[in-house]
């Protein structure tokens, strides 16, 4: 059985200049091999210290036990703020808590059941689009991006991707996607805060165009809410939800910030995970056949069908382990700390890396192998509790995690019900990190009707 590809790790010792060049090209390939077995690693620079935290106890301390002591690093915001503004992904403290109080109710309780018909329609639309490409070798990341964007617009604004503005946002986002890494160089390297963050020349302009389009959608929806004609979708729920503490709702600018991160988190990450899941089953045909058989349960639009897609869920979970869409997260210390007998000063950058944690040699059985059955093993269950953070963890866990774990298995099953995918031996994808973990040259699969 073939091992899923991962980027070549750099040698353990390279110059700072060489590291900067590797990092700029791809942050995954810039990491040394020893990080897949280290509990903690220190990166020394003249301006600050960065620490990679792989030990589950350390990750728990930062994300779950004391999250207020380790806010999100502003160095992340420097890279993503042109698109995301002051969205819930970037804010800290009381601002973040207020935003979550307004957003979280839209994703609680029976909301998944309410949004399921929109997901179902997007899955059906995906299958219809693929119908015309049967018999061809296709770039599957483009198709999963289309599908995930369709889900977001249908569930958020009750619009299919074919809507003029929705399509314009999607097209512009494709331009933005590969121009902006998820981590800025400042997260690791000795760049003083006054130094420009090396944006590509088109990144800011693309972000501005996306925000202008989202502003148009948001203003239209506010007018519908005022007129009493707004559909009861996620956008309406969020825009009419008052903060139970302050009584405030989001204004237009704040809502644009949130929609931008919903689109990034709900589209870009889902597209990445779904594409890698399809590649994994293409390279493991025995699993593909098992999922295709299970997918025969997909008949009518009924949320109860999700309880029958157990194998698809395990495969999607495994794709999230091997190729976590957000490979690294950065927090910052606010007071002196001691981690593993090391003195850590305020202002240090704490890098929490799902990419390394999910493949850690001292934690997982067969860490680089594709094995969906691991989730039923004792090792897999333990690691799922302690070393599996594709959606982060603690209070800042992705509010759409449950949403993603319905969307991904549903669309994966719907595709495999009608189609077979076959990997191309001359086009083995190598994962790289841009906004999310994608392939260096796309993921090319032969598509055929079952």
Are 146 and 166 spatial neighbours (Cβ–Cβ below 8 Å)? no
Nearest to 287 by CA among 402, 390, 373, 160: 373
| pLDDT at residue 20, as a whole number | 56
Extract the tokens encoding 22: 């590797």
Maximum mean pLDDT: which of 108-117, 178-187, 381-390:
381-390
Question: Averaged over 84-99, what is the pLDDT?
Answer: 93
For helices 164-177 and 140-157, angle between their N-to-C axes, nearest 10 degrees: 130
- The secondary structure element, H or E, covering residue 368 is none
In terms of phi and psi (left: phi > 0; alpha: psi -120 to 50; beta: otherwise), the region of 331 is beta
Nearest to 443 by CA among 292, 330, 319, 337: 319
- The secondary structure element, H or E, covering residue 423 is strand 419-423
Extract the tokens encoding 139: 């770039």
Nearest to 106 by CA among 258, 211, 226: 258
Statement: residue 206 has pLDDT above 70: yes
In whole angstroms, what is the distance from residue 103 CA to residue 259 CA?
11
Helices (H) and strands (E) in the chain, counts: 16, 11
What domains lie within the chain, and their CATH numbers? 16-449 (1.10.630.10)
| pLDDT at residue 81, as a whole number | 80
- Look at 340 and 16; give whichever has higher pLDDT: 340
The residues near 204 (Cβ < 8 Å, ≥ 6 apart) are: 82
In whole angstroms, what is the distance from residue 34 CA to residue 11 CA?
9
Least confident of 91-105, 149-163, 321-335, 426-440: 426-440
Task: Reduce the DSSP state of residue 122 to 3 states and report it.
Answer: helix
pLDDT tens digits for range 364-387: 999 999 999 999 999 999 999 999
Nearest to 419 by CA among 130, 144, 121, 137: 130
In whole angstroms, what is the distance from residue 428 CA to residue 441 CA?
9
* pTM for the whole structure: 0.91
Burial bucket for residue 79 (CB in 10 Å: 0-12, 13-18, 19+): buried
* Strand 337-339 to 419-423 pairing: unpaired
pLDDT tens digits for range 19-54: 555 555 566 766 788 899 999 999 876 667 889 999
| pLDDT at residue 195, as a whole number | 45
Are 327 and 432 spatial neighbours (Cβ–Cβ below 8 Å)? no
The residues near 335 (Cβ < 8 Å, ≥ 6 apart) are: 69, 346
Q: Share the mean pLDDT of the chain.
A: 88
Statement: residue 184 has pLDDT above 60: no
- Asked whether residue 398 is marked as a ligand-binding residue, the answer is yes
**Tally of CA atoms within 13 A in the half-sphere of 4 that contains its CB:** 25
Q: What length does the chain have? A: 450
Extract the tokens encoding 283: 């390279």
pLDDT confidence of 266, banded at 50, 70, 90? confident
pLDDT tens digits for range 208-257: 899 999 999 999 999 999 999 999 999 999 999 999 999 999 999 999 99
| pLDDT at residue 194, as a whole number | 45
Q: What percent of the chain has pLDDT over 90?
A: 70
DSSP state of 17: H
| pLDDT at residue 418, as a whole number | 97
The residues near 220 (Cβ < 8 Å, ≥ 6 apart) are: none
Q: What percent of the chain has pLDDT over 70?
A: 87
- Look at 120 and 80; give whichever has higher pLDDT: 120
Statement: residue 196 has pLDDT above 50: no
In whole angstroms, what is the distance from residue 46 CA to residue 215 CA?
42
The residues near 49 (Cβ < 8 Å, ≥ 6 apart) are: 42, 43, 344, 345, 348, 349
- Look at 185 and 309; give whichever has higher pLDDT: 309
Statement: residue 162 has pLDDT above 70: yes
């Amino acid at each position: 059985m073939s091992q899923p590809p991962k980027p070549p790790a750099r040698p353990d010792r390279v110059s700072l200049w060489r590291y900067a060049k590797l990092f700029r090209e791809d942050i995954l390939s810039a990491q040394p091999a020893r990080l897949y077995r280290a509990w903690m690693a220190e990166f020394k620079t003249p301006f600050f210290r960065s620490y990679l935290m792989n030990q589950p106890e350390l990750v728990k301390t930062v994300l779950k036990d004391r999250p207020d002591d380790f806010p999100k690093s502003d160095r992340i915001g420097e890279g993503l703020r042109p698109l995301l503004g002051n969205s819930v992904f970037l804010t800290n403290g009381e601002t973040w808590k207020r935003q979550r109080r307004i957003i979280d109710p839209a994703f609680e309780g029976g909301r998944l059941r309410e949004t399921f018909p929109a997901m179902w329609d997007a899955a059906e639309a995906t299958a219809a689009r693929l119908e015309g490409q049967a018999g061809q070798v296709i770039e599957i990341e483009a198709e999963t991006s289309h599908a995930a964007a369709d889900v977001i617009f249908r569930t958020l604004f009750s619009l299919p991707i074919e809507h003029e503005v929705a399509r314009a946002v999607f097209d512009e986002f494709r331009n933005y996607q590969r121009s902006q890494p998820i981590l800025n160089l400042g997260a690791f390297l000795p760049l003083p805060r006054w130094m420009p963050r090396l944006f590509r020349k088109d990144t800011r302009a693309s972000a501005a165009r996306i925000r202008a389009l989202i502003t148009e959608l948001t203003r239209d929806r506010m007018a519908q809410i005022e007129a009493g004609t707004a559909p009861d979708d996620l956008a309406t729920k969020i825009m009419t939800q008052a903060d139970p503490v302050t009584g405030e709702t989001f204004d237009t600018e704040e809502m644009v910030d949130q929609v931008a991160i919903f689109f990034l988190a709900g589209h870009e990450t889902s597209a990445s995970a779904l594409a890698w899941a399809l590649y994994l089953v293409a390279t493991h045909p025995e699993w593909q056949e098992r999922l295709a058989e299970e997918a025969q349960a997909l008949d009518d639009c009924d949320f109860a069908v999700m309880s029958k897609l157990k194998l698809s869920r395990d495969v999607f979970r495994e794709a999230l382990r091997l190729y976590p869409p957000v490979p690294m997260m950065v927090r910052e210390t606010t007071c002196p700390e001691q981690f593993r007998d090391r003195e850590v000063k305020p202002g240090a950058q704490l890098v929490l890396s799902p990419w390394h944690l999910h493949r850690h040699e001292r934690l997982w059985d067969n860490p680089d192998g594709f094995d969906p059955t691991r989730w039923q093993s004792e090792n897999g269950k333990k690691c799922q509790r302690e070393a599996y953070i594709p959606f982060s963890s603690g209070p800042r866990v992705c509010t759409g995690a449950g949403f993603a774990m319905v969307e991904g298995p549903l669309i994966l099953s719907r595709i495999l019900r009608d189609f077979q995918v076959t990997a191309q031996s001359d086009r083995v994808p190598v994962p790289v990190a841009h906004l999310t973990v994608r392939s260096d040259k796309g993921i090319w699969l032969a598509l055929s009707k079952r």
